[in-house]
C-alpha cells in the first residue's frame, strides 16, 4: 500500500514539473504572455477572407482583375476565392448569398445587374461585410470601383475614327460588336458609336450585334461579313470579343492592309494577336485591370482595418496601338 502511494506521489510531482515547463515556454521572465506574430508588424489580414464574384472568369480582363486582387491579398495575408457567374444573373446572386452565409469578410463583385444585388449588399453592410463594385456599379456598395462605360466607349470609337480618317478617307463601314446583354455595358457601345459618328461622320454603322465572348463574336463577324462584305471596321467592347472578330475576319480571308479591328482591355492575348503577321488587330484600350484589382483589395482591407469609410477607387485607361506594340 505504501509503495502504491509513493508511486502516485512521484507521478503527481512529475506532472507538475511538465506543466511548469510548458507554461514557461509561453511566458516572459516577469510572467507576461508572449504573443506570436506572422511577421507583418501588425498590418496583417490573417484570418480575413475575401471573395471575388465575377461575371465570367474566362474573360481575360476578369482574370487580370483577380490576379491583381489575389496578389495584394496574399501580401496582406488575406485568403481569397473566385466564384464564376458565367454571365448568369441568378448564379451571381446565389454566389453572393453563399458567401454571406459563410460569413466572409469582404466581397468584390463585377455585377451583371445591380438590381439583383442591392438587397444583399444591404444585408452585408448590416453584418460588417465590405462590398466592392468592380467594372459596373452597385450604388450601395462601400467601395466604388466602377468604370465610366460611356467614356471608355468613346475612347474605343475615337481610336477607330482616327484609323478611318487616316486609312479610309473618313468613310468606314462599321460593325459594332456589343455586350447588350449586360445592362451597364450597353453604354460602352453607345459611346463607341457616338465617337465614330462625331469624328468620322461620313462613316456608316452597318450593324450592331451582341457578341459577349470569343465564340459569339466570331460567329457574328462571319455572318455580317457574308451579308455585308463592305465592312472594313469592327469595334468591340473588349479583347475577349475582339479576338473572336479577328478570327472571323481571318476565316473569311478578308484581312487587308486597311481593315481595322479595335478592342478594349489590352490583355496579353489581345497584344499577342496584334503581333501576328498580317494582323488587322489595330488597337485596344488599356483599363489597367491588374492594378485595379490590387487597389480594390487594399481599399477593402483599409475599410475593415482602418477607415470604415466609403471609398472611390479611380479607374484610368489609355489607347494601345499596334504600331507601338510592334516597335517595342
The vertex-224 CA angle with 320 and 171, nearest 5°, equals 60
121 and 188 belong to one structural domain:
no
Domain that holds residue 190: 149-286
143 and 153 belong to one structural domain:
no
Closest CA to 80 of 61, 93, 99, 97: 99
169 and 265 belong to one structural domain:
yes
140 and 248 belong to one structural domain:
no
Residue 22 lies in a domain: no
d(CA 74, CA 68): 10
86 and 194 belong to one structural domain:
no
Residue 11 lies in a domain: no
Domain at 106, CATH number: 3.40.50.2300
Are 241 and 260 in contact by the 8 Å Cβ rule? The answer is no
Q: Is 174 helix (H, G, I), strand (E, B) or coil?
A: strand
Q: Within 13 Å of residue 190, how many CA atoms lie on the same side as its CB?
A: 10
The vertex-107 CA angle with 100 and 211, nearest 5°, equals 115
Q: What is the pLDDT of residue 139?
A: 96
124 and 194 belong to one structural domain:
no
Residue 154 lies in a domain: yes
| β pairing state of 204-210 and 233-236 | unpaired
CA distances from 215 to 102, 242, 246 (A): 35, 10, 11
Residue 202 lies in a domain: yes
Structural domains of the chain, count:
2
Q: What is the pLDDT of residue 46?
A: 81
Q: What is the pLDDT of residue 44?
A: 76
Residue 23 lies in a domain: no
93 and 211 belong to one structural domain:
no
265 and 198 belong to one structural domain:
yes
Per-residue pLDDT of the chain (328 residues; tens, 9 = 90+): 433 333 333 333 333 433 333 333 333 333 332 222 233 444 477 899 999 999 999 998 999 999 999 999 999 999 999 999 999 999 999 999 999 999 999 999 999 999 999 999 999 999 999 999 999 999 999 999 999 999 999 999 999 999 999 999 999 999 999 999 888 899 999 999 999 999 999 999 999 999 989 999 999 999 999 999 999 999 999 999 999 999 999 999 999 999 999 999 999 999 999 999 999 999 999 999 999 999 999 999 999 999 999 999 999 999 999 999 999 8
Residue 268 lies in a domain: yes
Query: Positive or negative, the Cα torsion across 263, 269, 274, 279?
Result: negative
Amino acid at each position: 500500500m505504501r509503495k502504491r502511494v509513493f508511486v502516485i506521489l512521484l507521478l503527481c510531482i512529475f506532472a507538475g514539473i511538465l506543466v511548469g515547463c510548458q507554461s514557461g515556454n509561453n511566458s516572459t521572465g516577469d510572467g507576461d504572455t508572449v504573443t506570436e506574430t506572422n511577421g507583418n508588424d501588425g498590418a496583417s489580414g490573417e484570418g480575413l477572407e475575401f471573395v471575388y464574384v465575377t461575371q465570367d472568369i474566362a474573360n481575360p480582363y476578369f482574370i487580370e482583375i483577380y490576379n491583381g486582387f489575389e496578389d495584394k491579398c496574399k501580401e496582406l495575408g488575406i485568403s481569397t476565392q473566385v466564384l464564376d457567374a458565367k454571365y448568369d444573373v441568378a448564379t451571381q446572386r446565389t454566389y453572393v448569398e453563399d458567401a454571406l452565409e459563410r460569413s466572409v469578410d469582404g466581397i468584390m463583385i463585377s455585377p451583371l445587374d445591380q438590381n439583383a444585388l442591392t438587397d444583399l449588399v444591404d444585408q452585408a453592410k448590416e453584418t460588417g461585410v465590405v462590398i466592392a463594385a468592380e467594372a459596373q456599379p452597385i450604388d450601395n456598395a462601400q467601395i466604388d470601383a466602377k468604370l465610366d462605360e460611356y467614356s471608355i466607349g468613346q475612347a474605343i470609337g475615337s481610336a477607330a475614327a482616327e484609323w478611318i480618317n487616316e486609312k479610309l478617307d473618313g468613310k468606314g463601314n462599321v460593325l459594332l460588336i456589343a455586350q447588350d446583354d449586360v445592362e451597364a455595358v450597353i453604354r460602352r457601345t453607345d459611346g463607341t458609336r457616338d465617337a465614330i459618328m462625331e469624328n468620322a461622320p461620313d462613316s456608316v454603322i452597318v450593324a450592331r450585334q451582341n457578341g459577349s465572348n470569343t465564340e459569339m463574336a466570331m460567329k457574328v463577324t462571319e455572318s455580317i461579313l457574308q451579308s455585308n462584305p463592305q465592312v472594313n471596321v469592327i469595334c468591340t467592347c473588349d479583347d475577349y470579343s475582339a479576338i473572336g472578330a479577328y478570327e472571323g475576319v481571318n476565316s473569311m480571308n478578308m484581312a487587308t492592309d486597311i481593315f481595322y479591328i479595335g478592342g478594349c482591355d489590352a490583355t496579353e492575348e489581345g497584344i499577342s494577336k496584334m503581333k501576328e503577321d498580317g494582323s488587322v488587330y489595330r488597337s485596344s484600350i488599356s483599363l489597367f485591370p491588374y492594378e485595379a484589382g490590387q487597389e480594390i483589395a487594399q481599399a477593402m482591407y483599409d475599410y475593415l482595418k482602418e477607415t470604415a469609410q466609403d471609398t472611390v477607387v479611380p479607374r484610368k485607361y489609355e489607347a494601345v496601338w499596334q504600331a507601338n506594340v510592334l516597335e517595342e
